[in-house]
Chains A and B, each alone.
Chain A
């Protein structure tokens, strides 16, 4: 009889460009902290798929509370902070980005405090887009009451199959209506050409990010979902600037070299998984290593693809921005989403699908209205659903999730 054998875990290749990303993100935050310290330029808080290009064109530094929410999750601070928001009436059932961010604010603790030159970026204006969910508006409303600053937003129609001109017009008019009050806050005269330039930069950035993600269609994939969730940071927060484009050029060079040399993100990739739903931020590293130990690469995801905006067009900035932010996956009907996901399964040569049912994020949990069974029927691909949350680790069972994932890979191996 032998003792249990301890297998050496396959490595997850570390992305070398990550230092350049950290530098770019550091510069981005440094500019916001400096603005907070100096009182100039003005600071806008914006929901992640809000009209960032307009804000940049109007002269704001743009801070994204959702990015902060993800940081609270990834640093595993969130679960201790969420109860503080629960205690002041924000339910544990609602968005845990919101509750962890509010908890962070109430306690005065943030991972940003460790960054050089940290200064709390008090908002001068709050901007939302309900294309993601109603929670983002409620989130901004909390701070509106606290700071007594103006709040503007876009209320986007949701559950759309085909985006029509009417849908776009509704959103475009709301974006245009912000111009005057925003310029009043910053005191700058609206520069239409600058706005067009910002939209053009966002288009270029979006294309770069798309190309980065599509490198994962190579076998073996040079990047995995867990890395992508981190490396999408610049695509989220640096829209309308060249900094992120420069970074993705560097990252692309690295990933293309990996493809040329057949270097995978994990060693000995055998299975390729599509992840639907939010990442479980507090478990990124352990999930990444767990999948790697199973010779499985999570190569593609709905989440990371959500920051691809094909519609941006500098020649028609308001309407194209409105279209880009209305075409988003999360805004669409299940019928549209299923067609889209089928395309992704083919592009990325997927073996199986994992749906993350995030307790506090119904809008990003696509398993709840019968989609997994419909897609399995149409694609023939097996799936599992894991129960968890983006930030609230009280909703996550380590053992149950590990068993679920391992049993799924055993099933793929049986094929």
Chain B
């Protein structure tokens, strides 16, 4: 590995920071994910250093670094910065050909990105300023269910009849869940209902007519949402191998591209 050029990609999301190291051909050789907290610069650096340590490499093994995510400008060791919309597109194109519609379900926001047959972006949309339909919503639901967030997927898998949560608003949904409890609804059905609520918020954003690719931390940690999405859409959807890392991989791919342009 030591004779190959390596590239780092950093995606500083509102909830989690994801860092990857790629070889020039896009092969993923290491990755690390940690909660972003309030120290984006330190967290991204510690993620990178942890990967390098696990690979037995020094910082100078990395040729270039790309950063993305809301705190992309805070990554002190970044050489190239791109928005997460560009990086998710780039990351998905490593695994799939266009046309496609990328649905990224993150901790704080959702993105819908349309790419044409050449992989060019034709449009994109971000969710409204609201937690409904994002990972934050699921965190709130796990709190009211008094269950760890990581248990939500397993609970949903046990559901037979998902509860329909109708409210637009996370706070109202929590109140709605209290009503569900009083009515005797089962926790697995409420958990499944929470995932389906996330999907409903997303299908309000776009007709989702193309080939759907799902990415993001919510997708990475909750395979249930993929099945639920397919059920709602009535057709299969695709998921890249590391859905939560897609943005970071895209950032590293931009670094590779930059390097190749620089050496031409």
Q: Is the beta-carbon distance between B126 and A403 smaller than 8 angstroms?
A: yes
B123 near A5 (CB under 8 angstroms)?
no
Enumerate chain A residues within 8 angstroms of B126, measured Cβ to Cβ.
Answer: 400, 403-404
Chain A residues positioned under 8 Å from B76 (CB to CB): 3-4
- Which of B60, B78, B83 has the most CB atoms of chain A within a 10 A radius of its CB? B83
Assess A410 versus B82: contact at CB under 8 Å? Given A1-B77, A4-B75, A4-B76: yes
Chain A interface residue number, banded: 20 to 34
Q: Which of B85, B120, B122, B123 is in CB contact (< 8 Å) with A403?
A: B85
**Contact of A3 with B122 at beta-carbon distance under 8 Å, contacts A400-B129, A410-B83 already known:** no
Closest-by-CB residue of A relative to B64 is A1
B86 within 8 A of A: yes
Taking a contact as CB atoms under 8 Å apart, the answer to whether B84 and A1 are in contact is no
Instruction: Identify the stretch in A150-158, A184-192, A235-243, A380-388 within 8 Å (CB) of chain B at 4 or more residues.
Output: A380-388
* Contact across chains for B65 and A1 when beta carbons are under 8 A apart: yes
Whether A395 touches B85, Cβ cut-off 8 Å, given contacts A384-B124, A400-B109, A407-B124, is no
Dominant SS among interface residues on chain B? mixed
Q: How far is the CA of A387 from the CA of B73 in the complex (A)?
A: 22
Considering the complex, which residues of chain B in the window 103-149 have a beta carbon less than 8 Å from any beta carbon of chain A? Answer: 109, 120-126, 128-129
**B70-99: which residues lie under 8 A (CB-CB) from chain A?**
70, 73, 75-79, 81-86
By beta carbon, the residue of chain A nearest B41 is A4
Q: Given A399-B70, A400-B109, A404-B126, check contact A2 B79 (CB 8 Å).
A: yes
Residue of B nearest to A409 (CB): B83
| B59 interface residue (CB < 8 Å to A) | yes
Assembly CA distance A289 to B201 (angstroms)? 34
A414 interfacial contact with B, CB 8 Å:
yes
A414 touches B120 (CB 8 A): yes
Q: Which residues of B contact A411 (CB under 8 A)?
A: 85-86, 121, 124
**Is B123 in contact with A382, judged by CB distance below 8 angstroms?**
yes
Closest chain A CB from B40 CB (angstroms): 12
A389-415 contacts to B (CB < 8 Å): 395, 397, 399-400, 403-404, 406-407, 410-411, 414-415
- Are A397 and B75 also in contact (CB < 8 A) when A407-B86, A414-B121 are? no
Cα-based distance from A259 to B122 in the complex (angstroms): 33
Query: B83–A407 contact, CB under 8 A?
Result: yes
> For B82, what are the chain A residues with a Cβ–Cβ distance below 8 Å?
410
Taken residue by residue from 347 to 384, chain A's Cβ proximity to chain B (1 for < 8 Å, 0 otherwise) reads as 00000000000000000000000000000100000111
A403 touches B84 (CB 8 A): yes
Chain A residue at minimum C-beta to C-beta distance from B71: A399
Q: Give complex CA distance A414, B118 in Å.
A: 11
Smallest beta-carbon distance B190→chain A, Å: 29
A-B contact count (CB 8 A): 57
> CB of B228 within 8 A of chain A?
no
**Does chain A have a CB within 8 A of B203?**
no
Q: Is B59 a contact partner of A1 (Cβ separation < 8 A)? A: yes
Is the pair A1, B86 in contact by a Cβ cutoff of 8 Å?
no
Contact with A4, one of B70, B78, B123 (Cβ below 8 angstroms): B78
Residue of B nearest to A388 (CB): B129
A403 touches B70 (CB 8 A): yes
Q: How many angstroms between the C-alpha atoms of A404 and B112 in the bound complex?
A: 12
Inter-chain CA distance A384–B124, complex, in Å, is: 7
Are B128 and A387 neighbours in the complex by a CB distance under 8 Å? Answer: yes
Query: How many angstroms between the C-alpha atoms of A5 and B129 in the bound complex?
Result: 31
**Contact of A382 with B122 in the complex, beta carbons under 8 Å:** yes
- State A3–B67 Cα separation when bound (angstroms): 12
Q: Which residue in chain A gives the minimum CB-CB distance to B111?
A: A407
A302 to B21, CA, bound (A): 46
Interface bits A1-42 vs B (CB < 8 Å: 1, else 0): 111110000000000000000000000000000000000000
Judge whether B62 is part of the interface by a CB distance below 8 angstroms. yes
A375 to chain B, nearest CB (A): 12
30 contacts between A and B (CB under 8 A): A1-B60, A1-B62, A1-B64, A1-B65, A1-B77, A1-B79, A4-B73, A4-B75, A4-B77, A4-B78, A376-B123, A385-B125, A387-B128, A397-B129, A399-B70, A400-B109, A403-B84, A403-B126, A404-B126, A406-B83, A407-B83, A407-B86, A407-B124, A410-B82, A410-B85, A410-B86, A411-B86, A411-B124, A414-B121, A415-B120
A4-B79, A384-B124 given; 8 more Cβ-contact pairs under 8 Å: A1-B60, A1-B77, A376-B123, A382-B122, A403-B83, A403-B84, A407-B124, A415-B120
Per CB-CB distance, the 5 closest pairs between chain A and chain B, nearest first, are A407-B85, A407-B83, A410-B86, A399-B70, A411-B121
